Structure 1
Amino acid sequence: MLEEANYFTKLSKVPVICKVVGRQVLDGVGLPTLEVEIHCTVKNYEKRICSIVVPSHFQIPDNALPAANEADEKERNSFVNTAVKWVNESLDRLLRDLNPTDQCEVDKILGEYFIRKAEEKEIQEQDEAEKAEDAEVTLTLASCTSSATTLPGKKKAEKPGKKVSVVERMIPPAEPDEPVLCGSLAIGGTSLAIAKAGATISHVPLYLHIALLKHKQESPKEMTLPIPMFNLFNCERSTSAKLKLVKEIMLVPPVNLSVEQGIQRFLDIQKELVRLMDPPSKASTAQVADSKKGKAQNAGKKAPQALKRVSHLGCLIIGGDHLEQLLLIIQTACDKIELKLGTDMYLAINCAAHELMDYVKGKYETLTGTFKSPDEMVDMYVELIDKFPFIIALIDPLRKEDRQQWNKICCALGSKCYLIAEDAARCISKLQIDQMINIPTCSGLVLKYINQTRVSDLIELTGHLDDQRQITILGSPDGESSDDSLVDLAVGLGARFVKLGGLLRGERVTKYNRLRAIEEELAKNRTLRKASLEFTAFAEESEPEKQLSDILPLPKQGLLPPQLSASPGGSQPALLPENGTLTWVVNIKFCRDFLTHSSKKLMC
């Protein structure tokens, strides 16, 4: 009897993690990335529970030089190989015997491990800096000795050029890219894999498991599905086309459509657009010119042509001479199939303006040879939305450093469309802990699950955004895989939109199919709540700043040096000095502070 009792006691034990496996796999475009596999002991037997393939943070540049591609490939391999090593040699040991449903404890351990690795990197950077300094001193002494033999009275010739223009000094300098710790992909990959394992053990879908984590294990009565942003065109800026302003054009279905209906409507528009822009079809060009709304503006201009290539985002690559040309051809395609923009479908535009700044002129290059100041950009967008009110979202219409212009554009257009920041939200950990980060006033952020981002980090940040009535858009990185966990993550977090790419690549279609499946499941359970499109009216220019500081609370008085404690005209922190640089020491410090802060919260 005792043996039988012991046997059944073992069977009744809570499942625990017994093995974590990392391996290198290929993503949707054939580039290396990380897969994390979770094994648990369930009823006294070891069992493979699930696996996750996470995309890397590397962006896929357009027409990069061979040397740049080679360097990027080498760095990518190093990042993935290090992440695999972290998982197999360290995280496997640290996470054994933990309950996979205890996400807080898992993320706390992952955060502590990242802190140790960050500190090791900091020490390594300091040692290298000291060695470089010693070498520089030696070189200086040698040069002083040699210069003593030169003839006296001969002045050193000044270096030609490099005069900094007045305009260049007036614009805020671009912040340096946030360094990524090699191997950090293991942290985010393992965190999401454990979340998926916890959902499997609990016999609930991943999206519901994420929602339960966000709402303190209180099951939501209804859930809203994020509205998909379908990538229609990827506008390649390196082509002979003049248009530089637009990087992506997306179609957004109305909230009264199901996901399946939205997909079908998008495919109908895409099919008609391909027909209109097909070069051999001369009749299609005439049809565009003779359309009711495009006749006056498009007279004497040929229709834009889609290139015979598909972007890594799963859509056609296109070029144009100006933005209105693309908008009119989309409008014409909708008219042909009896759809009306602004009612039956909306548009969203990713401007990616941070890639357009000419720092010598201090202006944005919107067309080839055409430059606009930040204030002129605001006027241009106001005129654009007034003329084409079916545009309901602008992503990165300005650089994140142009805070004053963000205030202006939000006050002018906030009640008409969403003004979204994507470039400013690249580093989620920095968003939460660094009080001096240059986040502009905006309607919401595009968040991406990459690098050391943990599930708990996204839950905390989206909670802040929800409290401040800011919208969350969960975005898909460039190098996606066929793993569809991103969709569950977006649904569980309650994101307003999900940005998944187009429907011309398999890894993108997989995610749309998952979104359809979740919608069917929620509708069957009668827990589906329709989404809404509600814009925010920004009253005064100072008010959005105040609202944003609630998301990123300011440090107490006396914690910052006087030159960084406040801006001259208000209570907001001033920008970093123009000659300020972010080093590994500074960035490692905020990562360490953030993860320590988060770990203390997760201990509850």
Structure 2
Amino acid sequence: MEPGGQRQQQQRRLRGPRQEAAEYYRGHRVPERMEEALNALFPQRPADLYGELANYFSKFSKASVICKLIGRKVLDGVGQPTLEVEIYCTVKNCEKRICSTVMSSHSQILENASPETTEADEKERNDSVNIAVEWVNESLNRMLRDLKPTDQCTVDKMLGEYFTKKVKENKEIQKQEEEEEAAILALTSCTPSATVLPGKKKAAKPGKKVAVAERTIPPAEPVESVLCGSLAIGGTSLAIAKAGATISRIPLYLHIALLKRDQDSPKEITLPLPMVTLLNCEKISPAKLKLVKEVMLIPPVQLSLKQGIERVLDIQKEMRRLLEPPGKAPSPQLADSKKGRAHNTGKKALPRALKRISHLGCLITGCDNLEQPLLLMQTACNNIGLELGTDMYLAINCAAHELMDYVKGKYEILTGTFKSPDEMVDMYVELINKFPSIIALIDPLRKEDRQQWNNICCALGSKCYLIAEDAATYISKLKIDQNINIPTCSGVVLKYINQTKVSDLIEVTGLLDGQRHITILGSPDGESSDDSLADLAVGLGARFVKLGGLSRGERVTKYNRLLAIEEELAKNRTLREANLEFTAFTEESLPEKQLSDVLPPPKQDLLPPQCSQPALQVHSLPAQLPEHSTLT
């Protein structure tokens, strides 16, 4: 045999299945044994065999695990520092960046704040973000390594234990500092004059006017302190949820829905109705209105989200025209009312807008009385052929907790105009009767005025949502403290800030659903450009979402995400139409029920067994099935 023939024969003997498969991919004929193997694995072999082979063998690869967390300081929508968390996972033995999330700033933007207050807030925020970055890059990075990003419960439990440990350490440090200060004070207070001064201050306190007011109205609850670095807990939990959705190759809203329903896939999903802020009536001069912080529009449920946003934009365009300086816009004429709408008395001109946009993403304007912004909305709708109460609804964020004068013990709704809590209830009843298109009042009273909350719910609960926002700022406190001072209300606004974890949101919304409260997911003042809030609202089944106005990128990006989700659900035929249903409260209060009377027995590690009160009591719901009025 020739040397060349011997070499070819030897190469054929050494040729293995791998080379035979390569010949197949290059278009050569496959030997019979290779063809049989491929037919056994893939009876109906597709054209893209590469992809099918990869999918087949990926089943035998190790599950993806967290390999690295990176925290960094970034800026939020108002230029303040906040936290970004990046998640890296080991996927098929390779390190890969999966996702990142940017937290919203927890601090409120105060109107007309003093320079000293602003400087102190900025320093506190900066310190908190720096500590949060340190937590993520060091402790949390080591603690969560090699965990599965799909195991949200385990991750959140570890995050909660870490935060509890930090809180305990912080209390010990504070206690030690207080003891040192007390020791120094004891050494320095040697003279009689030094010891008399503290006594004089204590004796002077009962004589102050504030003490007189505290005997007539419930005092404000102390503001819960925020532990520096707490952003790391919420940011990491949300980043893990996004990573879990990415690894599972499903949208974040579906991942959240599966977590809430214990992996039971929902057949239909309802989009939350948007509360779109059109006017921010902040205090701009001593003679301007204080009571109305936001005026919002709510599209009717029969419209799609896309149609509702388009209608809101039409109203906003007309409203801007009406707010032009005098001489440029015609005097609006209000049409006669069909459903009890107010008439323009002509006593007050429409307010003039300022040439700037609020951090809420809407136009800032001043108002001289409560009816002025409502008449403006009514006029704008009439001019484009829409009717308030049918084609569009109103909601008002009153933020009444910001108006209390503790010296007089009354709310200062206008400079020099004061009303007691009972008078506030009467004012709201008169307002809703005059403007029935208002279907939601947010924070109409302080959370401490519990009796007045009962009264306003009995008077207006069957035709208007009475929402608590200030009372529900700290989700973790709602979950842990079963006797939390939440007034009787229709629902609460939840915000994803600080040490809030995804598991906390799931648990609290489950409690709210079981007690017939509605859930509103809201965005804080210092909002970021991360659009995860839209997915959270959809996955948790929130009734409303409060995102601000249709300006500023950090606001609009969430509306755009909701529109994309709506399109996806409609394409998959899993979109269910929303509904508006009011609960009729009665004056006869229910006896205090155990949580087990409202919900199935909770897990022992979620609700402490010694707590006998549910997190949110509905004291004024009737004992029988409540009457409902449906708004379509």
TM-fit CA distance, 1:109: 0.9
TM-fit CA distance, 1:436: 3.4
Of the three residues 171, 179, 189, the one matched with 2:217 is 171
Partner of 1:371: 418
1:348-380 CA distance string (max 9 Å, x none): 000000000011111101111111100011111
Partner of 1:287: 332
Moved more, 199-208 or 541-550: 541-550
Q: CA–CA distance in 1 between the matches of 2:298 and 2:144?
A: 41
**Are 1:144 and 2:189 counterparts?**
no
Q: CA–CA distance in 1 between the matches of 2:260 and 2:321?
A: 46
Q: 1:201 to 1:164 in 2, by over 3 A?
A: closer
Moved more, 431-440 or 462-471: 431-440
Moved more, 240-249 or 543-552: 543-552
**Are 1:40 and 2:89 counterparts?**
yes
5 Å-filtered alignment, 1:415-430, equals 415-430=462-477
TM-fit CA distance, 1:298: 3.0
Contact 2:295 2:373 in 1 (8 A): no
Q: 1:280 to 1:87 in 2, by over 3 A?
A: same
TM-fit CA distance, 1:32: 0.7
1:282-303 CA distance string (max 9 Å, x none): 542x224x65469954313211
Partner of 2:379: 332
**Are 1:537 and 2:566 counterparts?**
no
TM-score by length of 2: 0.82
5 Å-filtered alignment, 1:277-426, equals 277-284=323-330, 286-288=331-333, 291-292=335-336, 297-426=344-473
Partner of 1:276: 322
User: What letter is aligned with 1:108?
Assistant: K
TM-fit CA distance, 1:30: 1.1
Contact 2:111 2:282 in 1 (8 A): yes
Q: CA–CA distance in 1 between the matches of 2:353 and 2:589?
A: 43
Q: CA–CA distance in 2 between the matches of 1:139 and 1:219?
A: 68
1:150-174 CA distance string (max 9 Å, x none): xxxxx99985962456444110000
TM-fit CA distance, 1:475: 0.3
1:581-602 CA distance string (max 9 Å, x none): xxxxxxxxxxxxxxxxxxxxxx
TM-fit CA distance, 1:71: 1.3
Contact 2:210 2:406 in 1 (8 A): no
- Secondary structure at the counterpart of residue 225 of structure 2: coil
Q: 1:549 to 1:283 in 2, by over 3 A?
A: farther
Q: CA–CA distance in 2 between the matches of 1:183 and 1:240?
A: 38
Q: CA–CA distance in 2 between the matches of 1:177 and 1:548?
A: 27
TM-score by length of 1: 0.86
**Are 1:504 and 2:559 counterparts?**
no
Of the three residues 514, 517, 535, the one matched with 2:564 is 517
User: What letter is aligned with 2:446?
Assistant: R
Partner of 1:599: none
1:501-530 CA distance string (max 9 Å, x none): 101111111100000000000011011011
Contact 1:447 1:474 in 2 (8 A): yes
Contact 1:187 1:451 in 2 (8 A): yes
- Secondary structure at the counterpart of residue 267 of structure 1: helix
Moved more, 272-281 or 47-56: 272-281
Of the three residues 139, 151, 167, the one matched with 1:118 is 167
1:228-251 CA distance string (max 9 Å, x none): 000111111242443111111100
User: What letter is aligned with 1:131?
Assistant: E
Partner of 1:162: 208
For structure 2, which runs of at least 5 residues remain unmatched after alignment?
1-15, 17-56, 620-632
1:381-429 CA distance string (max 9 Å, x none): 1111111110000000000000000000011111011000000001111
**Are 1:253 and 2:253 counterparts?**
no
What is the identity percentage for the equivalent residue pairs of Structure 1 and Structure 2? 72
Q: CA–CA distance in 2 between the matches of 1:393 and 1:372?
A: 21
Q: 1:146 to 1:51 in 2, by over 3 A?
A: closer
User: What letter is aligned with 2:318?
Assistant: E
- Secondary structure at the counterpart of residue 542 of structure 1: coil
Q: 1:377 to 1:548 in 2, by over 3 A?
A: farther
Higher relative contact order (CA 8 A, sep 6+): 1
Q: 1:300 to 1:145 in 2, by over 3 A?
A: closer
TM-fit CA distance, 1:277: 1.4
Q: CA–CA distance in 1 between the matches of 2:546 and 2:241?
A: 22
Q: CA–CA distance in 2 between the matches of 1:390 and 1:121?
A: 49
Q: CA–CA distance in 2 between the matches of 1:469 and 1:484?
A: 28
Q: 1:60 to 1:281 in 2, by over 3 A?
A: same
Flag the structure with larger Rg: 2
Partner of 1:584: none
Of the three residues 94, 105, 110, the one matched with 1:56 is 105
Q: CA–CA distance in 2 between the matches of 1:548 and 1:367?
A: 41
For structure 1, which runs of at least 5 residues remain unmatched after alignment?
2-7, 149-154, 573-604
User: What letter is aligned with 2:258?
Assistant: L
Partner of 1:458: 505
**Are 1:226 and 2:272 counterparts?**
yes
TM-fit CA distance, 1:69: 1.6
Q: 1:59 to 1:541 in 2, by over 3 A?
A: farther
TM-fit CA distance, 1:571: 13
TM-fit CA distance, 1:543: 2.7
Of the three residues 193, 212, 217, the one matched with 2:258 is 212
Q: 1:547 to 1:109 in 2, by over 3 A?
A: closer
Partner of 1:104: 153
Of the three residues 46, 52, 67, the one matched with 1:18 is 67
Q: 1:296 to 1:406 in 2, by over 3 A?
A: closer
Q: 1:187 to 1:264 in 2, by over 3 A?
A: same
Contact 2:275 2:546 in 1 (8 A): yes
